[in-house]
Structure 1
Amino acid sequence: MRNNEDSNKDGKHKEGSHKEGNQAGPSSITPIGQGRVHVIRDDEEALAVATALAAQFAPGAQSRDRERRLPVAELRQLRQSGLWGITVPREYGGAGVSYATLGRVFAILAAADGSIGQIPQNHYFILEIIRHEGSEEQKRFFFERVLAGDHFGNALVEPDVRRPEDRKVSLVRDESGSGYRVNVRKYYSTGALFADWVPVAVADEEKRHFLAIYPRTAEGLRIVDDWASFGQRTTASGTVIADNAYLKPEWLVPHSVNADHVKPVGPVGQIMHAGIDTGIARAAFDATVAFIRQRNPKADDAPADAVWEEDQLSIREIGDLAVALHGTEALLERAGLLIDKAYRTNLAADWTRAAVAVSEVRAASTHSSLLLTNKLFELAGTRSTAPDHGLDRLWRDARTHTLHDPVRWRLFDVGNYYLNAKVPLRRPKWAENQQKPKAMPEGPEPVTGALPEPRLAAGL
């Protein structure tokens, strides 16, 4: 086992889910970065660490949700465990775990706490962008910092911009010529309040897109804790404001948002979201079975192999839920394996298959998480709605997270691939040509809300 010493450093969802909040500065929350950091070596260890952390996080999930208490202590445990660094490539000292493993890690964490399961998503997404678009110097610097315990938040989504391509100019040269200045307001900034680094999505006057990666305590960068959704209450997915914030040139990472082919960061980002919903579905299934067993216990003198036969309809429903859950878990594994294959071959056809598989599991995990969190109450009965049980947290977390980006587009991608052999990109051409609606935010992966032409709809 190797440990890295911590050192001093310079450094979602739907409209109506923000509240008036406090502006976060350097001393607004207890610093996450304290203590020694373990370095995870392989996939097996990553899964073992995630499982151990989930067992520690689960008992307090209900009270954190009820009190809207931010998981500062839990994120410190996550940091010290080394889990932040599991996707750092092996040539840079990390475990370089498979994407099948990464999907399972998210499912494990989200089953324990849907908010904690959400917070790391942007961190690994930013690491993926740096891996593909960062310079060699940026890779070495940020990968080393992550292995030492640093993690990324995000500031990607602008209130009045539905598509990344339409971002307004927010990055200009500093008058001194030594760096840049950024002026922009972002929301749904999951994890920024806890992070060491806050990547801000920006565009320059030539409509080139970048990540401006700031230390969380940078002058001119303000984080407002105004997240007020009814679900995933403790993700701190609030507002980030860059007010003429100075940026060093070495912290500016290119990030292309236009592509005529599947880019690795897309499927990787989405499989983590699928893992979150899959984990919530697993938690709901386990809670349903436990509640029914508690409601209908076997007699003390019943034989060891006795079964619950009093409620045949509930037994049938549990079977249906098990099939839905296990099917989703299998699709999650399959999508991860196809991403892994695409990384090995780097063939466009393999990346397309991986993207389609991820869309399939995004759709399946959305369906399963909503189905299982609803059926939980139907099968467990009225007593399950008592606030002491805290089971509503599972439904609220599932309903909130599944609004991240519309599942109808995932189903469209899948159908369009199998029927028309179309590569699943951000959106089809006919959607690009529609008039853009005014200020209707859809989350970190915005899409237009236009309907297809009737002829195309009929063809599907």
Structure 2
Amino acid sequence: MTAVDIQEIAHRITSEDEALSVASQLSDEFAAGAGVRDAQRLLPHDEVRTLAQSGLLGLSVPKEFGGIDASTETLAEVFRLLAEGDPSIAQIPHSHFTFLEALRYQGSNEQKQFFYAEALSGKQFANAQSERGNKTIDIDGTTLTPDWEDFVLEGRKFYCTGALFADWIVVRAANADQFTETGAQVKSAVYLPRNTPGLSIVDDWDGMGQKTTASGTVTLESVSVPRFNVVPFTSLFTHPTTYGAQAQILHAAIDTGIASAALRESVKLAAKARPFFEAKVDTAVEDPLLVQLAGEATIEVRAARSLLAEAARSIDVARRNPTEDSTARASIDAATAKVVGARASLAATSTLFEIGGTRSAGESANLSRFWRDARTHTLHDPTRWKVQHIGRWTLSGTIPPRHGLL
């Protein structure tokens, strides 16, 4: 392992209030160029570097390792603010915090010391999890094979959000010839430096939305992996934790941030729009039907924000006392926030055009990016299954499943 370069050490955030203030400032900065970056697919290298140097990437580091161990409520609000500025940039560090959380539960003390120091210095972690061609997305063809004292990693991953910007790539891999008692693959999370020989990243993401997340392909060819860099993954889901709920609440925060941004843009458009002649009013903001649309959108966005905060507090309670019941409640609350946040983002980004009128559809304004970002991000994990879990919990107290599809 190499020592952290002193020149790259990030600002050290010392309180949650400071974190929210920094996130709000960055949100405004990122919003200023978001439209141009989307229209021209300009990858946000400078913005991601600014995010790293801000100190926000170290928010979840436990206090015993030098961080402030920020609450989930604060972390979710940080993501909501970033997404309100630019949803692509907000999506990039999602896996960063998810795999720092995996270390909390699964890492050795030595691994925590090293990787948490990396996060505090501004180093970014990204994921390489999803694969194509398998029957279901929970099957991994990427394999980790023992090689004397260490391992060899082989495989190909897709939708690797943020990998192009990251210092560390975390690969989910199946342990060769290792299975659980039920016959499922035993999996590991492999933490690899970005410049590892045999690891290549291709910028081939062509999504209609979240265009600048660089969610491309990662290929792993005979990659040599030190044992120190391997963290058990399957065993993370054999006992109650808030790992999955935290990952989901950050997705909900991104959806809610998009909804907030769309509502904000709608207000700007309404001030410039012409009233419909049948309304017989002087300004668009006096049109009772537009007033109705704005009211409905506000209710949906406020509901999403309230449920986001409520679910985040539920996760914080469960993390302090992770029982079967407390973690299940946290997962259900996170699922509820995710469903409502997704609905609010899709509704608010559509209402934007109703309020803005014909001029809002112009390519030069690029307002379609709000809807495209919402529609793309809400495809990440199906809310229809979350509604099922919520319903079963409500009617029969059925515990939602624990898995690593985040």
Common fold: TM-score over 0.5: yes
Please name the residue that 2:279 is paired with.
none
Please name the residue that 1:341 is paired with.
317
User: Aligned match of 1:181 in 139, 143, 152?
Assistant: 152
Please name the residue that 2:95 is paired with.
122
Please name the residue that 1:42 is paired with.
15
CA distance in structure 1 between the partners assigned to 2:399 and 2:66 by the alignment: 35
1:283 correspondence with 2:261: yes
- Give the CA deviation at 1:134: 0.8
Q: 1:254 and 1:338, CA in 2 relative to 1: closer, same or farther beyond 3 A?
A: same
CA distance in structure 1 between the partners assigned to 2:85 and 2:189 by the alignment: 31
CA distance in structure 2 between the partners assigned to 1:60 and 1:275 by the alignment: 21
Please name the residue that 2:230 is paired with.
252
1:292 correspondence with 2:294: no
Q: 1:240 and 1:339, CA in 2 relative to 1: closer, same or farther beyond 3 A?
A: same
Any stretches of 5+ residues in structure 1 without a counterpart?
9-33, 298-305, 428-443, 447-460
* 2:42 and 2:212 in contact (8 A); partners too: yes
1:82 correspondence with 2:55: yes
Q: 1:260 and 1:140, CA in 2 relative to 1: closer, same or farther beyond 3 A?
A: closer
Q: 1:387 and 1:309, CA in 2 relative to 1: closer, same or farther beyond 3 A?
A: closer
* 1:260 and 1:425 in contact (8 A); partners too: no
* 1:64 and 1:234 in contact (8 A); partners too: yes
Q: 1:227 and 1:185, CA in 2 relative to 1: closer, same or farther beyond 3 A?
A: same
Please name the residue that 1:452 is paired with.
none
* 1:152 and 1:198 in contact (8 A); partners too: yes
CA distance in structure 2 between the partners assigned to 1:411 and 1:261 by the alignment: 23
Q: 1:44 and 1:241, CA in 2 relative to 1: closer, same or farther beyond 3 A?
A: same
Amino acid at match of 2:349: T
Within 5 A, what are the aligned runs for 1:200-349? 200-204=171-175, 205-206=177-178, 207-256=185-234, 259=237, 262-295=240-273, 310-349=286-325
Q: 1:257 and 1:376, CA in 2 relative to 1: closer, same or farther beyond 3 A?
A: farther
Amino acid at match of 1:388: S
* 2:241 and 2:319 in contact (8 A); partners too: no
Within 5 A, what are the aligned runs for 1:402-441? 402-426=378-402
Deviates more, 1:340-349 or 1:49-58: 340-349
- Give the CA deviation at 1:412: 0.6
- Give the CA deviation at 1:103: 0.8
CA distance in structure 1 between the partners assigned to 2:400 and 2:97 by the alignment: 22
* 1:193 and 1:236 in contact (8 A); partners too: yes
1:351 correspondence with 2:327: yes
- Give the CA deviation at 1:331: 0.2
CA distance in structure 2 between the partners assigned to 1:6 and 1:307 by the alignment: 58
CA distance in structure 2 between the partners assigned to 1:309 and 1:98 by the alignment: 39
Deviations 1:114-133 (A, max 9, x none): 10010010100010001111
CA distance in structure 1 between the partners assigned to 2:9 and 2:205 by the alignment: 31
Q: 1:259 and 1:126, CA in 2 relative to 1: closer, same or farther beyond 3 A?
A: closer
Deviations 1:241-300 (A, max 9, x none): 100100011000111178466532100100000000000000000111110112259xxx
* 1:261 and 1:423 in contact (8 A); partners too: no
User: Aligned match of 1:191 in 154, 159, 162?
Assistant: 162
1:139 correspondence with 2:115: no
Please name the residue that 1:391 is paired with.
367
Q: 1:69 and 1:188, CA in 2 relative to 1: closer, same or farther beyond 3 A?
A: same
Deviations 1:310-334 (A, max 9, x none): 3101101111111100000000000
- Give the CA deviation at 1:112: 0.6
Q: CA RMSD in A?
A: 2.0
Instruction: Tell me the number of residue pairs that the alignment of Structure 1 and Structure 2 aligns.
Output: 391
- Give the CA deviation at 1:89: 0.8
CA distance in structure 1 between the partners assigned to 2:135 and 2:73 by the alignment: 30
CA distance in structure 1 between the partners assigned to 2:20 and 2:126 by the alignment: 23
* 2:8 and 2:121 in contact (8 A); partners too: no
- Give the CA deviation at 1:345: 2.0
* 2:274 and 2:283 in contact (8 A); partners too: no
CA distance in structure 2 between the partners assigned to 1:377 and 1:178 by the alignment: 59
Q: 1:131 and 1:261, CA in 2 relative to 1: closer, same or farther beyond 3 A?
A: closer
SS in 2 for 1:226: coil
Please name the residue that 1:31 is paired with.
none
Q: 1:309 and 1:287, CA in 2 relative to 1: closer, same or farther beyond 3 A?
A: closer
Please name the residue that 2:133 is paired with.
160
Please name the residue that 2:405 is paired with.
445
User: Aligned match of 1:363 in 331, 339, 346?
Assistant: 339
Q: 1:259 and 1:85, CA in 2 relative to 1: closer, same or farther beyond 3 A?
A: closer
Q: 1:39 and 1:404, CA in 2 relative to 1: closer, same or farther beyond 3 A?
A: same
Please name the residue that 1:62 is paired with.
35
Q: 1:352 and 1:373, CA in 2 relative to 1: closer, same or farther beyond 3 A?
A: same
SS in 2 for 1:198: strand
- TM-score, structure 1 as length reference: 0.82
* 1:262 and 1:425 in contact (8 A); partners too: no
SS in 2 for 1:166: coil
Q: 1:309 and 1:62, CA in 2 relative to 1: closer, same or farther beyond 3 A?
A: closer
Any stretches of 5+ residues in structure 2 without a counterpart?
179-184, 276-281
CA distance in structure 2 between the partners assigned to 1:359 and 1:40 by the alignment: 30
- Give the CA deviation at 1:158: 1.3
Please name the residue that 2:80 is paired with.
107
* 2:142 and 2:153 in contact (8 A); partners too: no
Please name the residue that 1:436 is paired with.
none
| Percent of pairs with identical residues | 40
Please name the residue that 2:144 is paired with.
171
User: Aligned match of 1:151 in 124, 130, 133?
Assistant: 124
